Structure 1
Amino acid sequence: MPRPTAAQIAYGSITVIFSTLAMLLLSQTSSAVGTAVIAVSALALGVLVAMTVPKPKSRVVALSRPVERPTENPVPAAATHSKTAA
């Protein structure tokens, strides 16, 4: 299982903290059961957010032969223009 990145940990932690505070303030619960339900749901939301943060793409370096370039002589720029008869 791949390890979470720093961004995933940060986004998940911030989500847990702010969603817990928001739900506690909005629900105005004073019971232990209500607080536990809010804490568990905030934790689940934080894990969901952390898992959906896009991961950086890894760079894969292919080890292969260098690309061969054609050995033709370049055409001079003056030869590419067509002459017009006046």
Structure 2
Amino acid sequence: MPRPTTPQLAYGSLTVVLSTLATLLLSDVRSGAAVVAVAAGGLLLGLLVAVSMTAPVAARRRASLGPAPIPPAAVPVPRSHVTAGAESRVAERSLRR
């Protein structure tokens, strides 16, 4: 798994802090469980922002590489070009271990 880049860490962290702070101020929560739930929601939102930043970069990287190269087609070798000894050698066992 690749390491997160600096912009991913910055945007993710900023999202966590600002969304958690805004939600706490706007919702007027007072219980500990509600604060934990808001903090967990902020963490999930920050993770979503950081992960979603990788998709456009990967798409741009693939687009800059151009189309995938076409693999060469297998060319069959006519039997007339196969040496006579090659067919008999196929049945022999190898002495290498």
Scaled by the length of structure 2, the TM-score of the pair is 0.57
Larger RCO of the pair (alpha carbons < 8 Å, separation 6+)? 1
> Which residue is 2:22 aligned to?
22
Give the unaligned 5+ runs of structure 2: 66-97
> Which residue is 2:41 aligned to?
41
Kept after mapping to 2: 8 A contact 1:5/1:55: no
CA distance in 1: counterparts of 2:40 and 2:29, whole angstroms: 15
Scaled by the length of structure 1, the TM-score of the pair is 0.63
Q: Deviations over 1:15-51 (max 9, x none)?
A: 0000000000011001000000000000000000000
Give the unaligned 5+ runs of structure 1: 61-86
Q: Deviations over 1:46-83 (max 9, x none)?
A: 000000114373887xxxxxxxxxxxxxxxxxxxxxxx
> Which residue is 1:78 aligned to?
none
RMSD: 1.7
Among the aligned pairs, what percent are the same residue? 48
> Which residue is 1:55 aligned to?
57
Q: Amino acid of the residue matched to residue 46 of structure 2? A: G
Kept after mapping to 2: 8 A contact 1:11/1:46: yes
Structure with greater helix percent: 2
Q: Amino acid of the residue matched to residue 28 of structure 1? A: D
